[in-house]
Amino acid sequence: MSVNYLNEKKGLTSWLFTLDHKRIGILYMITVFTFFLVGGVFALLMRLELFGAGETFIPASVYNQFMTFHGAIMVFMVIIPGIPAFLGNFFLPLQIGAKDVAFPRVNLLSWYCLIVGSIVALCSLFFNGVDTGWTFYTPYSIRTDNGTLWVVLGAFIMGFSSILTGLNFIVTVHTLRAKGMGFFQLPLFVWSLYSTAIIQVLATPVLAITLLLLSAERIMGIGIFDPKLGGDPVLFQHFFWFYSHPAVYIMILPAMGVISELITTFSRKTIFGYKAIAFSSVGIAAVSFFVWGHHMFVSGQSEWVGVLFSFLTMLVGVPTAIKVFNWVATMYQGSIKFDTPMLYANGFLFLFVIGGVTGIMLATLAFDVHVHDTYFVVAHFHYVMVGGTLMAITGGLYYWLPKMFGRMYNEFWGRISFFLIFVGFNVTFFPQFILGFMGMPRRYHDYVPAYEPLNQLSTFGSWMIGLGFVVVFFVVLQALFKGEKASSNPWGAVTLEWQTDSPPPHENFHKTPVVGKNPYEYS
Amino acid sequence: MLYLLINSAEAAWLPVAATDLAKEVDQLIYFLLEISVLASILVIGGFVYFSIRFRRKSEADKPPAITHHYLLEFLWSFIPFVIFMFVFGWGWLVYDKMRDHPKNALEIHVYGQMWNWDFVYKNGRKSSRVLTVPVDKPVKLIMSSRDVIHSFFIPSFRIKQDVLPGSYTALSFTARKKGKFPVFCAEFCGAGHSSMLATVHVMGLREWEEWLVKDPYKGMSISQIGESVFQKSCTACHTATQEKRIGPGLAGLFGAKREFEKGGSLVVDENYIRESILNPSARVVKGYGNMMTPFAGLLQEEEMTGLIEYIKSLKIEQKDK
């Protein structure tokens, strides 16, 4: 095997102190998948408890901790760093023809921030535990056990990982593009990472301040959120969602970028409406800062505020719809091949459409009042976050695996994994829409017997998803150790990362690429 | 087991609509569902059809380079925009009616606390876990919380409102159907969140007026008064057996020795039970968290006496041992 980034240096320290964006990407991959396993096990345990009405095998206090860990781990340690820090770190420099990101040391620092933050957060497991849900709503989070403080501080530290990665990407895109590559020759994955980075840099500091205030409230009783001291508990919700709503776009925008890549490659056709997709990413990023109040239609905020946020939320629907139509139009008259990544891309489209239309429903004021804080909302955001982001990250993993490790995966088992995850996902989460209409509130350890059949169906589905990801795990392992050697461009794709070796050499390209055409010119 | 209180939860996918407003909400729900199904079929059908129609036939396929189509792009931006604005307006109209509190409404105060709902009526009558209202009369609930944020959710009325500590929120409705409708707490509030249930009992006006002036404890022994308070206010966390829930089971408590979280122990007597109800954090039993809300100021003397007598009467069942 020729010299590449994987074998040019050996030993653990060469990985732990590496400045190569590709190796840092792999560090993120291992980290994110480890946490995904942990968060997933918590999810399976929750579903198991919900298999029957009444207490099945864990009491409410333990269930609430599982619920909190599932949410906090999946949000802060899996979905937020998932695509940008893992796939983005690896492929952003490659796609723009750069040797590395602009600040390689900062890049490594951001990984350590994630690791330190995660360790601090997981410390709560060994102390009193935390049972607030990942949203830390006050005043409950002020009066519950001390474990909360660990998770809050952990999330605070992890925030810096996100900020540093975002900053790095913005500077990299501005300064390190290959010769001849203007902004409109950027691959759409880069556009989506760029939009995401803007949100990461602007919104994450607000979360940091909010979490510091919450810690100060707990430790010193400063009376900002605690009504007993004259504080306003709803203010916390405003602060929290001012970050956390843009954060859901940190989670989904990069996924949309991956899908744009997959659909053009496997349709072997230029993307339809390149500029519309690029600008809609930026548009979504901009509007995302002004919709946080749609999480609070029944919180006691004034009617007019509710109306304004409902209106602004509808506006986000337009650029999102544009993207979906553009992807479908890209497939028109294409030459479509259903390798595993394309199956995942189509799975994404299917689930994202359902996640999208239910998002419009939830933005409708009177509709939201009935299903707010019910399983309808749980189903909606899992359709977007899991059906969207997780399908994209898994599809992206299959797509770029040959480039990252120079090995092909087993196509048959890749498709089996898709089938299990896709069907299992719908079996798990579609019944939850109906449970929401029926009125089952979320974060319930126990429920009325009428909700039992649909909950059981949902639990069956969760086992299918679990099995599907076990298959993904073995497919990846098999590819790494026994996979066929991959050529430099197994899919016939045209973006720059496919013009170098698989796996790429240390500084990515033997000869610095010069770009003369648009990113998706197939014919 | 916990839910024997509420047996009227609907098996249908939408609970029975028991107010006029609920029916209006349902129309909106049905419209949104229809248009969403239609849109989903168009998009999903579209790419499934393309997937089959434009499958790769040979590696030499040369797809055309279609980069954009302005009219099409305008249409698929503008048409969704119009639909979104339409449902936004409709949602607003109905929401506005929800937020309308009639001037002549019957006012009832609602208090949320971990993990119970208390109701106080204008004449001083109190109830817990059961909200009693007359049919066809506008009712306004003036709500506040004694501890953390809760949310008062009546699925059959399609309304929900967070209940805050330190300020008041309101919820209005006019029930059109007699019967019992479940109430859930919809804002996460800790270990007892899913057992923080209540029932709205809608009855005829005359029946309701009679209920309002009835002494709920008339003709009861002290211990029976205690049992009825226990059923309303304590069962989210305690059982009348030895079974642990969020708090300890209470059978056999009286006269038994208890050790405390902060150290020390005593033999349970009337004073300890009284203290644990009024100021639970004073001496928390080993193995339990300091989670109970203080009941100081919430119980009348006869209710307190009743509770103590009732707890005294709870003996350990002998059949297991």
Domain final residue pick, B178, B213, B248: B213
Domain final residue pick, B191, B213, B235: B213
Q: Is the CB of B215 inside 8 Å of chain A's CB atoms?
A: no
* Position B160 in a domain: yes
The reply to whether B114 and B144 lie within a common domain is: yes
End-to-end CA distance of chain A: 33
The reply to whether B208 and B234 lie within a common domain is: no
* Position B244 in a domain: yes
* Position B178 in a domain: yes
Domain final residue pick, B195, B213, B231: B213
Position A72 scores a pLDDT of 92
CATH of the domain at B273: 1.10.760.10
Domains of chain A and CATH, by start: 17-499 (1.20.210.10)
Task: Select the residue from B16, B38, B51, B58 to test the A interface by mutation, using most A Cβ atoms within 10 A.
Answer: B51
Alpha carbons A325 and A336: distance in angstroms, whole number: 17
The reply to whether B191 and B262 lie within a common domain is: no
Position A318 scores a pLDDT of 93
- Number of domains within chain B: 2
The reply to whether B200 and B167 lie within a common domain is: yes
The reply to whether B262 and B192 lie within a common domain is: no
Q: Between A and B, how many CB-CB pairs are < 8 A?
A: 282
Query: Nearest CA to A415 among A390, A392, A396, A398?
Result: A398
CATH of the domain at B167: 2.60.40.420
* Position B85 in a domain: no
Alpha carbons B307 and A7: distance in angstroms, whole number: 74
The reply to whether B204 and B121 lie within a common domain is: yes
Position A1 scores a pLDDT of 55
Handedness of CA B5, B10, B14, B19 (dihedral sign): negative
* Position B298 in a domain: yes
**Which residues of chain B register pLDDT less than 70?**
1-11, 318-321
Residues B249 and B257 sit within 8 Å (Cβ to Cβ): no
The reply to whether B128 and B179 lie within a common domain is: yes
Q: Is the CB of B65 inside 8 Å of chain A's CB atoms?
A: yes
Q: Which domain holds residue B125?
A: 106-213
Position B3 scores a pLDDT of 40
* Position B57 in a domain: no
Going by the DSSP 8-state scheme, the letter that residue A136 receives in this structure is T
Q: Is the CB of B167 inside 8 Å of chain A's CB atoms?
A: yes
The reply to whether B125 and B157 lie within a common domain is: yes
For tokens 């049972």, name the residue: A131
Phi, psi of B200 (to 5 degrees): -95, 120
Long-range contact list for A41-46, CB < 8 A, 24+ apart? A42/A66, A42/A67, A42/A69, A42/A70, A42/A73, A43/A70, A43/A74, A43/A462, A44/A462, A44/A463, A44/A466, A46/A70
The reply to whether B130 and B166 lie within a common domain is: yes
- Alpha carbon of B226: minimum distance to chain A alpha carbons (Å): 26
Facing residue for A317 by CB, picked from B43, B51, B80 = B80
Alpha carbons A454 and A382: distance in angstroms, whole number: 17
Measured in whole angstroms, the distance separating CA A149 from the mean position of its chain's CA atoms is 24
Position A500 scores a pLDDT of 92
* Position B58 in a domain: no
Q: Is the CB of B193 inside 8 Å of chain A's CB atoms?
A: yes
Please judge whether B76 and A437 are an interchain contact, meaning their C-beta atoms are less than 8 angstroms apart: no
**Which residues of chain A register pLDDT less than 50?**
none
* Position B230 in a domain: yes
Please judge whether B88 and A143 are an interchain contact, meaning their C-beta atoms are less than 8 angstroms apart: no
Q: What is the mean pLDDT of chain A?
A: 93
